[in-house]
């Protein structure tokens, strides 16, 4: 990597569509955003005997301050140095690992959900050492995690719960719950201030909005003009399994599995108003925004230009296979150093009185 250049790379951890290696194989597959998301390389993660199914990847995150990328599976959590591409550590946490984790804004601490259990692990991101095992009974089926941009809150959602828990990372305790939502909470995102939660829930093509301060659900937003059926869902059994706020928080983008589409909502009004729909090459399960706001990464492997609302590229690996997966993170290097990483959740970047943060 030339010391004088900037590189904007997308890292996709696969298999990221359950354990199906037909959508990109196994490892960290790297793409170059400046070259129309052309395949760059594959970083090995784990090897499996031919008779053994690989562990499906559950989460990916990057610490810019430590220069490490983290991958969680249903059995373990591990860290790689992004410059040497060597594994730094691996942990199993009593064999109950792991789901979609979140890093603190300084990139040094992680909240890691046990695999659909009743607790989250608080982890030292440098060593993988366990700091605390935090019970979160109100959010049963530990699943998705977001750390607020200002570092003051950790949002924790479980597969078997219609309420969401909020933790205080200073004390590593649960301090609030939000809900009940209309059904179990699935993928969600939050605004930069950490005051609004935009959540997919079971049996809703659309999303609900929760107020993190009052603990109440304040809006239900349903996609208009499209139907859904469980028979047309091949993934998570949830019609909308993926949601993201634009960095400026003026739009909400939400997936539609039944119709292999993504729907765009104007978030400058409340409740948000549907304005556009975009057809994708396959069923989407996750959405992530680029750092510059120009692109949206869909788990179907489609890259969407957010200004033209057009699909401009499709991820393919070195064998020409379509790469699909819900666990992708954008990393920016300058002068040979990692300077910024974009969280896998499409978190809003508008903060009340400070600049946006990298991780």
pLDDT digits (tens, 9 = 90+) for 267-295: 999 999 999 999 999 999 999 999 999 99
Mean pLDDT of 81-110: 95
Domain annotation covers residue 78? yes
Output the pLDDT for position 355: 43
Output the pLDDT for position 216: 98
pLDDT in tens, 169-206: 999 999 999 999 999 999 999 999 999 999 999 999 99
**Distance, C-alpha 67 to centroid of its chain:** 19
Kindly report which listed range (48-52, 116-120, 319-323) carries the lowest average pLDDT score: 48-52
- CA of 267: how far to CAs of 73, 272, 273, in Å? 34, 5, 7
Range of the domain at 112: 6-342
pTM to 2 decimal places: 0.95
pLDDT band at 1 (very low <50, low <70, confident <90, very high): very low
Domain annotation covers residue 278? yes
| Distance in angstroms (rounded) separating the CA atoms of residues 99 and 145 | 9
Q: Answer yes or no: is pLDDT of 303 > 90.
A: yes
Output the pLDDT for position 123: 98
Domain annotation covers residue 352? no
Output the pLDDT for position 50: 82
- List the CATH number of the domain containing 160: 2.130.10.10
Output the pLDDT for position 237: 85
Decide which of 252 and 16 is more confident: 252
Counting the structural domains of the chain, the total is 1
Mean pLDDT, all residues of the chain: 94
Domain annotation covers residue 178? yes
Domain annotation covers residue 260? yes
Among 183, 184, 207, 182, smallest CA distance to 197 is for 207
Sequence-ordered strand ranges (E) for 53-172? 57-63, 68-73, 77-81, 87-91, 102-103, 109-113, 119-124, 130-135, 142-147, 154-158, 164-168
DSSP class of residue 144 equals E
**Distance, C-alpha 269 to centroid of its chain:** 25
pLDDT in tens, 63-80: 999 999 999 999 999 999
Q: Answer yes or no: is pLDDT of 149 > 60.
A: yes
Domain annotation covers residue 356? no
Phi/psi at 263 (5° precision)? -115, 140
pLDDT in tens, 231-264: 878 778 899 999 999 999 999 999 999 999 999 9
The residues, any chain, with a CB within 8 Å of residue 200's CB and separated by 6 or more, are: 185, 186, 187, 188, 207, 238, 240, 241, 242, 243, 254, 255
pLDDT band at 30 (very low <50, low <70, confident <90, very high): very high
Output the pLDDT for position 352: 80
| Distance in angstroms (rounded) separating the CA atoms of residues 158 and 56 | 18
Domain annotation covers residue 21? yes
Q: Answer yes or no: is pLDDT of 358 > 60.
A: no
Output the pLDDT for position 4: 54
pLDDT band at 19 (very low <50, low <70, confident <90, very high): confident
The residues, any chain, with a CB within 8 Å of residue 124's CB and separated by 6 or more, are: 108, 109, 130, 131
| Distance in angstroms (rounded) separating the CA atoms of residues 330 and 342 | 5
Output the pLDDT for position 359: 57
Domain annotation covers residue 275? yes
Output the pLDDT for position 190: 98
The residues, any chain, with a CB within 8 Å of residue 206's CB and separated by 6 or more, are: 220, 221, 222, 223, 240, 254
Cα angle vertex 108, ends 168, 114, to 5°? 60
């Amino acid at each position: 990597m030339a010391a004088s250049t900037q590189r904007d790379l997308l890292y996709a951890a696969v298999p990221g569509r359950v354990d199906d290696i037909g959508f990109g194989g196994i490892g960290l597959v790297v793409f170059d955003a400046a070259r129309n998301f052309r395949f760059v390389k594959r970083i090995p993660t784990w090897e499996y005997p031919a008779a053994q199914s690989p562990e499906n990847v559950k989460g990916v995150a990057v610490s810019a301050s430590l220069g490490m990328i983290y991958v969680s599976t249903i059995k373990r959590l591990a860290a790689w140095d992004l410059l040497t591409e060597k594994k730094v550590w691996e942990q199993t946490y009593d064999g109950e690992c792991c789901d979609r984790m979140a890093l603190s804004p300084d990139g040094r601490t992680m909240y890691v959900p046990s695999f659909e259990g009743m607790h989250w692990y608080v982890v030292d991101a440098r060593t993988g050492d366990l700091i605390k095992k935090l019970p979160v009974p109100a959010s049963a089926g530990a699943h998705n995690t977001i750390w607020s941009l200002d570092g003051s809150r950790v949002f924790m959602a479980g597969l078997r719960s219609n309420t969401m828990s909020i933790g205080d990372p200073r004390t590593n305790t649960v301090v609030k719950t939000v809900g009940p939502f209309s059904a179990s909470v699935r993928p969600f995102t939050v605004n930069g201030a950490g005051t609004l939660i935009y959540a997919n829930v079971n049996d809703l093509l659309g999303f609900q909005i929760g107020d993190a301060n009052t603990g109440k659900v304040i809006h239900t937003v349903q996609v208009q003009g499209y139907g859904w059926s469980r028979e047309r869902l091949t993934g998570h059994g949830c019609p909308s399994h993926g949601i993201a706020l634009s960095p400026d928080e003026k739009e909400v983008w939400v997936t539609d599995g039944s119709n292999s589409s993504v729907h765009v909502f104007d978030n400058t009004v409340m409740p948000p108003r549907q304005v556009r729909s975009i057809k994708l090459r396959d069923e989407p399960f996750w959405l992530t925004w680029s750092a510059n706001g120009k692109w949206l990464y869909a788990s179907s492997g489609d890259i969407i230009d957010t200004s033209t609302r057009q699909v401009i590229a499709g991820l393919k690996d070195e064998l020409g296979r379509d790469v699909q997966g819900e666990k992708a993170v954008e990393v920016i290097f300058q002068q040979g150093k990692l300077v910024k990483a974009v969280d896998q959740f499409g978190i809003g970047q508008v903060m009340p009185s400070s600049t946006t943060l990298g991780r």
